[in-house]
Amino acid sequence: MVRSRVPGDLLLVASGVLLTNLFVFHPLLNIIELRAFLGIVMVLVLPGYAMVAALFPGKDDLSGAERFTYSIGLSVAVVPFIGYGLLSAPWGMNVGPLMISISALILVMCAVAFIRRHRLPEGMAFSPSLSSLYRPPVSFLSGRHSRLESVLRISLVFAVLISAVTVAYVIENPKPKVGFTEFYLLGPDGTSSGYPTNLSIGDSGSVMVGIVNQEERSVDYRLEILLDGKPLPSQAAGEDIHLGNDERWESEVTFKPDVYGNGMKLQFLLYKDTELSEPYRELYLWLDVQDGTGDD
């Protein structure tokens, strides 16, 4: 008899993968609690279950409880290696690459499991049932095993429980974001070109200065402009800038050099809150300023 029907457990695993990806990547399905639950299952259960299904296609290979426990154990062992591999990849360990990698592993293992089960004689392939899931916990922990095997099995159960609790804690108590401030210079046309680097005394130069507050709180900033270490008058110099979190300040800053020389350092210093002894951020341009008579 030819068996072509996809086993229910493999179909359920594949559906779980697709559902989890849908809730992770679709912007309209941003339900945090459901995403957290699906994420735990995706990371802690599905990779290992698919691998166990591929390695042990027969119904007598493992009991139901053994399959479940080994599924979590393999997941805990394999997923970190995927993360380490992504750290050295060009795209890094972001949510997208991590989800794609885990999903690919699960689906490939499901395909292998389907092929291996299909090749077994009729009635010998594993097929999950409620009775098989209910019966095994006792035999898994208290059946006839050597003392060493029993200790290893009990240790695996505790490792699975600790891993599940750890993942749940990390999801519920994410690491606080590290605040920072974006500070940038653009040319007068708002692009990263056209900076006024050649001027004459009496001429004005202008740049676009931008500040973006990502400090996770409101911050008071102060902008100072120096030319070769000396304060340079500007309509923005000394201005107090108050920004709430995620707020942006961008303004055209005009300056007029009052001394001439080549290779002069024009500094834009950004101070934060009441700390005025050391700048929080610094940007600079190199200026060549002529004396205005045509001579250097």
**Per-domain boundaries in the chain:** 8-172, 180-290
Pairing of strands 230-231, 219-227: antiparallel
- Laid out side by side, the sheet with 248-255 consists of 180-186, 205-214, 248-255
End-to-end CA distance of the chain: 96
Burial (CB count <10 Å: 0-12, 13-18, 19+), residue 161: exposed
Cβ(52)–Cβ(139) under 8 Å?
no
pLDDT score recorded for residue 65: 72
pLDDT score recorded for residue 221: 92
pLDDT score recorded for residue 183: 92
The span from the CA of 63 to the CA of 8, in Å, is 17
Question: Which one has a higher pLDDT value, 161 or 139?
Answer: 161
Question: Which one has a higher pLDDT value, 51 or 157?
Answer: 51
Handedness of CA 282, 285, 291, 296 (dihedral sign): positive
* Angle value at C-alpha 279, between 238 and 221, nearest 5 degrees: 45
* Backbone angles phi and psi of 230, in degrees to 5: -110, 140
Q: Is the pLDDT of residue 185 over 70?
A: yes
Whose structure tokens read 């019966």?
A: 135
Count Cα neighbours of 95 within 13 Å in the Cβ-side half-sphere. Answer: 9
CA distances to 8, 143, 225, 285 from 52, rounded to whole Å, are 15, 21, 64, 61
Q: Which CATH number fits domain 180-290: 2.120.10.30, 1.10.1200.30, 3.40.50.720, 2.60.40.10?
A: 2.60.40.10
* Backbone angles phi and psi of 123, in degrees to 5: 90, -5
> Each residue of 88-116: pLDDT tens digit?
777 666 778 888 899 999 999 999 999 99
Q: What is the pTM of this model?
A: 0.49
pLDDT score recorded for residue 295: 53
Mean pLDDT across the stretch 206-227?
Answer: 90
Flag the least confident range among 69-83, 95-109, 112-126, 213-227.
Answer: 69-83
At residue 135 the predicted structure's pLDDT band, cuts being 50, 70 and 90, is: very low
